[in-house]
Structure 1
Amino acid sequence: MGTAWKATIRWLALLVLAFIALQLFFVLRIALMAVLDPESTTFQRSQAWQQLASQGTLRWRQEWVPYEQISPTLKRAVIASEDDGFANHDGVDWAAIEKNWERNNRLAEQAAQRQEAHPDRQIKPVKIRGGSTITQQLAKNLLLSGERSMLRKGQELMLTMVLEQFLSKQRILEIYLNNVEWGEGVFGAQAAAQRYFRKNASQLSSAEAARLAVMLPAPKRFEKQPQSAYLNGRTRVIMGRMGRTELP
């Protein structure tokens, strides 16, 4: 066996060991979250660096509150808006993924047909809808970078399963609601409730909770468009769903 081949094998072995070590690190961090609140997430740190780089200052609002001090209306609204099967799935909602896959393919075909029929027009791109659950979103924001690749998606799925194995549904939702972004430098339910409604997270009404939940896919955009037609209409839809939403 040549020297170059031996060197290649050594490098591959080191890569495998590094990968295993990284997974063990992730598992240990998640296991500790059963009793320790995470001080920050990978996503939050990346947002802080972006703020410092672009503005030279750091605006940051976050105050951890226990699960019991977050209004049930907000828990129901977020689940209704983001992941209505949260209480029952094992971290991945395969039915929702299949449904959205079919929907995306159908709309893509329709867009292609419209483009073919009107080649001189600029057809609006199809808005791709995913199927990420609350647990998947937490796995991504807690520990992973924002890059989009099959490797990162596979890592996200693995961490999702670990989160579901080590943490209760209530704990997953508690960590999610205390760390999710709700605007420029606004993280967590307590900071969001104070920022938009000048009250604590435990005091949110159904309408206020639904509005916060609707902001989640694009909080920075909706922060600047608080009276958008979409935000108002979607808020009413989520309010209608909240009564049927199951809490963990």
Structure 2
Amino acid sequence: MWKKIKRIIYIIILANILFIVWGKFFNPPITITQIGGLMEYGKLKRDYISYDEMGSNVKKAVIAAEDQSFFVHNGFDYKAIEKAMKYNQKGKKLRGGSTISQQTAKNIFLWQGRSWIRKGFEAVYTFIIELVWGKDVILERYLNSIEMGRGVFGVESASKYYFNKSSKDLTKSEAAWIATILPNPRKYDPKNPSAYLNKKHTWIMRQMNNITLK
């Protein structure tokens, strides 16, 4: 019995290693989140493109909105985590401190939701992809897999869905609107923005001026 358990564990570990290495060169065939979107909304809009095909505006916009320390941290932004913990201790609405690397690990390998088990796996995957993939690959996988609307995944599909153009052709303002709906793309709509979204869009536009792509 114990030998069978060990064999299963070894197989799982080997499969994960192969998937991580494979993921350095290819986008995921499908993710758990995408399956969930397909089941809930009956559609799966996605269009994987390469890092260079994405254009600079949408990269800067998402980094400005989600993780301005992306190119300098090791996968974890400890200041952001500490800030989020203090904010949550006040009893206000939960705020996350996840980096783009952590979100990529979650989106590609894991499932949505809040649990210590998932966060533990997320930390392990984040550490590994930072070592194996590097920043450009992590950002490419993130921008291709992130949920951007109801059944819409990735910046290319989002660009076509909201603005009827490729992501490389987005203006600075349009790219900022793509980033503005994060982290709740099922709720927010850049075509029908609230006062809060308009304010956030303006802030992202300013922050984009501080982002330098590597």
Deviates more, 1:168-177 or 1:15-24: 15-24
The one of 22, 26, 35 equivalent to 1:32 is 22
The TM-score with structure 1 as length reference comes to: 0.80
Structure 1 residue aligned with 2:129: 163
* Cα pair distance change 1:48/1:36, threshold 3 Å: same
Q: C-alpha offsets along residues 3-40 of structure 1, whole Å, 9 cap, x if unaligned?
A: xxxxxxx56x7556544533332222111112222222
How many Å separate the matches in 2 of 1:90 and 1:218?
Answer: 25
Structure 2 contact 37–44 (Cα < 8 Å) conserved: no
> Does residue 104 of the first structure (1) align with residue 104 of the second (2)?
no
* Cα pair distance change 1:151/1:14, threshold 3 Å: farther
Structure 1 contact 87–246 (Cα < 8 Å) conserved: no
Structure 1 residue aligned with 2:13: 23
Rg comparison, structure with higher value: 1
The one of 175, 190, 195 equivalent to 2:141 is 175
> Does residue 240 of the first structure (1) align with residue 213 of the second (2)?
no
Give the match's secondary structure for 1:59. Answer: coil
How many Å separate the matches in 1 of 2:113 and 2:162?
Answer: 30
Counterpart amino acid of residue 40 in structure 1 = I
| Structure 2 spans left out of the alignment, 5+ residues | none
Structure 2 contact 156–167 (Cα < 8 Å) conserved: yes
* Cα pair distance change 1:15/1:85, threshold 3 Å: farther
Structure 2 residue aligned with 1:41: 31
Structure 2 residue aligned with 1:117: none
Q: C-alpha offsets along residues 40-74 of structure 1, whole Å, 9 cap, x if unaligned?
A: 212111222233xxxxxx32221111111112111
Structure 2 residue aligned with 1:75: 59
Structure 1 contact 193–199 (Cα < 8 Å) conserved: yes
| Structure 1 spans left out of the alignment, 5+ residues | 1-9, 52-57, 109-125
Counterpart amino acid of residue 206 in structure 1 = K
Number of residue pairs matched?
A: 214
How many Å separate the matches in 2 of 1:47 and 1:59?
Answer: 7
* Cα pair distance change 1:16/1:243, threshold 3 Å: farther
Structure 1 contact 71–203 (Cα < 8 Å) conserved: yes
Give the match's secondary structure for 2:153. Answer: coil
- Deviation of 1:216 after TM superposition, in Å, equals 1.7
Counterpart amino acid of residue 141 in structure 1 = N
Structure 1 contact 27–162 (Cα < 8 Å) conserved: no
Counterpart amino acid of residue 170 in structure 1 = D
For the aligned residues, what is the CA RMSD? 1.9
Q: How much identity, in percent, do the aligned residues show?
A: 37
How many Å separate the matches in 1 of 2:112 and 2:138?
Answer: 20
The TM-score with structure 2 as length reference comes to: 0.92
